[in-house]
Amino acid sequence: MVSLRQGFSTSPTPASSFYENFEPPGPTVKTEIPGPRSRRLIKDLDKVFDTRSLSILTDYQKSTGNYIADADGNMLLDVYAQIASIPLGYNNPVLRQAAKSEAMIDGIINRPALGTFPPHDWAEVLRSGLLKVAPKGLNQVFTAMAGSDANETAYKAAFMWRRQQERGGPDVDFTDEEAASAMDNQSPGAPQLSILSFKTAFHGRLFGTLSTTRSKPIHKLDIPAFDWPQATFPQLRYPLKEHAAANAAAEKASLDEVEHLLTTYRVPPCAVVVEPIQAEGGDNHASPAFFRGLRDVTRKHGVLLIVDEVQTGVGATGRFWAHEHWNLATPPDMVTFSKKAQAAGFYYGDPALRPNKPYRQFNTWMGDPVRALLFRAIADEMKRLDLVRHTARVGEYLYAGLEDLDRRYPGEFANLRGKGMGTFIAFDNPRRDDFLARVKKQGVNIGGSGESAP
């Protein structure tokens, strides 16, 4: 698939005086990419740092707004945006101001161990930033470093919550057998419990998250994994209105499979983790009704619902959090975030998701205040310029344009999807990788997702 999810979304409106001359009138492609200077530098870099996944050797000083510059003077419109993690364009002048602040310098040179020695104004930093944009119903946060450990600490919270329930509540202490067996990596101390994820999901690449990632073999090969279950993610057919009955049946079958696995899998799941839109796995969408059903089935069986908003969060879908599209009756138990937030972690609401003793959910740094401060500046600027709504509008415009192209070039823009989901738009092209390469030559940096991605 060709994914358009990453650019545009938060491109600042030209109306703001901050952003005058922020972007060039269009792309400039002077050389092949990589050009001669890039090739020389890449060859040198490769001696000390693996460059085989390198796409553009970037000149960040010259990159601006939605335009990425390379080491040969090329300037591309960037709808890939550092794998969906640049929220307000390159060299954003408002973020530049924030980066020069005393608070930011302080965070760089005096990095705290946040669990043990938090800054005296940490509550205020959280409330005016991370928590100000927290999903509805979730008023607490555990801060982390990136998407993988955001998800893994959420999984840990789920395991501790479940075992605490089984034990009879937070006041019941561990048995000696539990303590001893945990030290030997054996049950009951290290329990036989699992996290249920979906086929074609992507949740990260460390050992716990990789056990829930089901995107591509290249991500998983040769790495030991936990025996955790996977359910089929609904495979919707497009255009949606022509396949309403088949799609509803696919979603029902998926929910039935989830329920079956929750009740019968040999390693019982204590949580289900799901992306609102499977991104890395191929831009796979499901209906709000499907996610409401997932909330229902998890509640029915006393299992937590973790919504992984690492890629969908922070405005890209035309809502600040993608799961706002679902109108859930009760919020997810945990929502994880990273990427465009620049900061990372998970939100939660239920006090029982704090383990019953200190030092259980803990590590040295527990996040990075520099990134928490940056997220505050990002969220403020998004609000000031109403960028979430702007993204919804840009998405409508873009989607209509792609619909038009689909009519004019049948088959080249197949399974166009993401209507009403901001700029989180994708389509299938029969010669995808060739298409991406040709678009790049035209000056647009764009990414693929799913099975045959490069």
Which residues between 331 and 360 bind its own copies (CB under 8 A)? 338-339, 342, 354, 357-360
State the residue for tokens 């696995």.
Answer: 261
Stretch that binds its own copies, among 137-145, 255-263, 295-303, 379-387 (CB under 8 A): 137-145
Task: Tell the smallest beta-carbon distance from residue 388 to its own copies (Å).
Answer: 20
Using an 8 Å Cβ cutoff, are 423 and 315 in contact?
no
Report if residue 361 touches its own copies, rule: CB under 8 A: yes
Residue 144 makes CB contacts below 8 A (sequence gap 6+) with: 150, 153, 338, 344, 345, 346, 366, 367
Using an 8 Å Cβ cutoff, are 155 and 195 in contact?
yes
Q: Among residues 128, 235, 363, 415, which is the contact residue for its own copies, using CB under 8 A?
A: 363
Integer angstrom CA distances of residue 209 from 215, 293, 309, 376: 12, 24, 14, 27
Question: 55: how many CB neighbours lie within 10 A of its CB?
Answer: 15
Q: Among residues 17, 20, 25, 53, which is the contact residue for its own copies, using CB under 8 A?
A: 53
DSSP 221-250: TT-------EEPPP---SSGGGGHHHHHHH
Report if residue 85 touches its own copies, rule: CB under 8 A: yes
| Token code pair at residue 60 | 């960040």
Active-site residue, from 116, 175, 263, 364: 364
Report if residue 194 touches its own copies, rule: CB under 8 A: yes
Stretch that binds its own copies, among 36-44, 243-251, 284-292, 298-306 (CB under 8 A): 36-44
Active-site residue, from 308, 333, 368, 428: 308
Task: Tell the smallest beta-carbon distance from residue 421 to its own copies (Å).
Answer: 21
Half-sphere exposure of 129 (CA within 13 A, CB side): 22
- Report 200-219 residues binding its own copies (CB under 8 A): 204-208, 211, 214, 217-219
Report if residue 146 touches its own copies, rule: CB under 8 A: yes
* Catalytic residue flag (residue 413): no
Whole-angstrom Cα distance, residue 291 to residue 203?
17
Q: Among residues 18, 122, 238, 265, which is the contact residue for its own copies, using CB under 8 A?
A: 122
- Report 153-182 residues binding its own copies (CB under 8 A): 155-156, 159-160, 162-164, 174, 178-180, 182
The secondary element (H helix, E strand) that includes residue 269 is strand 269-274
Stretch that binds its own copies, among 21-29, 102-110, 316-324, 396-404 (CB under 8 A): 102-110
What amino acid positions are annotated as catalytic residues? 202, 308, 339, 364
